[in-house]
Amino acid sequence: MKSTNDTPRSRRPAIPEGQVSPKIPGSKEEAEMAIVEITPSLAEEWLKFNRMNRKVREGRVDRYADQMRDGEWMVSPDAIAFSYTGKLINGQHRLKAITQLDSEESVQCLVAFNLDPAAFKISDVGIKRTGADVLRIEGFKSPEEKAAVCRLLALWQQGRLEELHRYENVENSTIVDIASACRERLTEVIEKVGSDKKALDKKMPRSLMAFAHFAYKPSFPTRAEYFFNGFLYDKNFPAVDWAEEYGEDGAKSPIKLLKDKMRSEYGQLERKAKMALLIKAMNAYCLEKPMKQLRWRTNESLPEIQARSAIPELEAKQDLFT
C-alpha cells in the first residue's frame, strides 16, 4: 500500500520483508492512502460515487459540520474509502458535512482507494463512544457542544489545558460528571454561544468561547459578560478609550485586538493558538490591564487563566481531577 508517511523507521513499527501486499484481491490497481485536503466542491464530486450506501442521518451530518466549523475536527484513522470498482464505501456523512462549509474552507481527512467493495459491511464496526455519544444517551441537549466544553473544563481543572488540541484524553465518565454538576450554567452558556451561529463565524471556535465565558464568569461576572457581548456583537460596555482611561498611549481594547487578530489570521491559527490569544485577551480585559498588541508564539506555554481555578459547581468533586 502506498503511503505519504515519511515517519523515520525508528519511530514506527517495522514491516517484515516480503509481507507487503500492494493489491487487494480482485483488484488490478494498487491500494493507496493519503491525507487529503477536501473542499466542498471536491466533496460534492466524490459523493457522485455514493451508490447504495446506508441511509444518510442528517442529524449526524449537521453535527459533523458544526464540529468542522468550530475546529473540533481532526484526522481520523477511520478513512473515507473507495472500492476498486469506484464506489464510495465509507465516509458519506463526513463528505456531506464538508459540503455545508464555505467554498474556501477545507477539512483534512485520511482517504483510501482501491479497497474491496465488500468492506462497506464492516465500516464503523466497534467505534468507541465519544463523550457526546454518552451525553446524548444520558438525555443532554446539544451533546456535542457540551462534551467539547466539559472536556476543556476537565483539562483545565487537571492542569492539562496544554493538551486541548489532543482528543480522547478525558474519560467519558468525567465529562458526564461535569455536565451533570454544571447542567444549568452549561446549558445557559451553550445557548448563549449558539443563539447566533454566524456571530462567531471565523472569529473563534464556539467551544472555546463557551469554555472561556464559563471559566471567567464566577470571578468576573460583569467583565466576562461585557467581553462576550463585545466580541460577538460589537457592544462596547463600558464605552471607554483604553489609552485615555488607563493613561497609556497606544493602549487598545483587548476585545478589538483579539477581533483584529482573528480577522487577519483565523485560517492560519491552530486551535491552541486561538485559545492562547483568547485567554490573553480575557485576562487583560477582566483585570483591566492595557494592551498595545496581542501575540502568542507556538514555543510559548499556554497562558494561565487569571480566574479562580475551582469551578463552584465542582468544588465538592475535586476527586475527579486528581
For residue 237, the model assigns a pLDDT of 64
C-beta atoms surrounding 290 within 10 Å: 17
pLDDT confidence tier of residue 317, bands split at 50, 70 and 90: low
Q: Is the pTM of this model over 0.75?
A: no
Cis peptide bond N-terminal to 218, omega within 30: no
pLDDT confidence tier of residue 228, bands split at 50, 70 and 90: very high
For residue 201, the model assigns a pLDDT of 82
For residue 207, the model assigns a pLDDT of 92
Q: How far apart are CA 141 and CA 135, in angstroms?
A: 8
For residue 3, the model assigns a pLDDT of 46
Is the pLDDT reported for residue 10 higher than 60? no
Q: How far apart are CA 83 and CA 86, in angstroms?
A: 5
Q: Are the beta carbons of 212 and 280 closer than 8 angstroms?
A: no
Q: How far apart are CA 140 and CA 133, in angstroms?
A: 10
> Higher confidence at residue 310 or residue 187?
187
pLDDT confidence tier of residue 82, bands split at 50, 70 and 90: very high
Q: How far apart are CA 130 and CA 249, in angstroms?
A: 49
Q: What is the DSSP letter of 78?
A: S
Burial 26-40 (b: 16+ CB within 10 A, else e): ebeeebbbeebebbb
Is the pLDDT reported for residue 296 higher than 50? yes
pLDDT tens digits for range 27-37: 778 888 999 99
For residue 31, the model assigns a pLDDT of 86
Q: How far apart are CA 212 and CA 278, in angstroms?
A: 8
Q: What is the DSSP letter of 316?
A: G
Q: What angle separates helix 206-216 from helix 183-194, to the nearest 10 degrees?
A: 130
Q: Are the beta carbons of 115 and 143 closer than 8 angstroms?
A: no
The rounded Cα 116 to chain-centroid distance in angstroms is 32
For residue 138, the model assigns a pLDDT of 86
